[in-house]
Amino acid sequence: MDKKIMLVDDAAFMRRLIRETLNKNGFSRIIEASDGEIAYDLYLKEKPDLVVMDITMPNKSGIDALREIKRADPYARVIMCSAMGQETMVLEAIKLGALDFIVKPFKAERIVAAVKNALS
């Protein structure tokens, strides 16, 4: 699969976990950002096929980055990730156009299924 996927999370271990999971499932074109501000700039430059983004991050939240990315590219495909108990933010992300939502801690199969579904 030759799709470019951008992982956005302020936790390097979380980006690594998702990257390794995706690599094992045939996704090799992975770019990374550590906050929403970097994610927005990188999105404009790299035009990834899919963004997998955390909600809670310093500098610019995933919600704010999602809003900006969707404003710049209404067809952007974004999956949001977050810990349990952030239902209001989940609803906001869905209203803003997120395709899916993954709750942390997540199972590898859930990530892979969400990514494949978003790219199909």
Question: Which CATH number applies to 4-106?
Answer: 3.40.50.2300
106 three-state secondary structure: coil
Would you say the pTM of this structure is higher than 0.85?
yes
Q: What is the largest CA-CA distance in the chain?
A: 35
**Which of 31, 30, 40, 33 lies closest to 63 in space, CA to CA?**
40
39-78, pLDDT tens digit by residue?
999 999 999 999 999 999 988 999 999 999 999 999 999 9
81-98, pLDDT tens digit by residue?
987 667 788 889 989 999
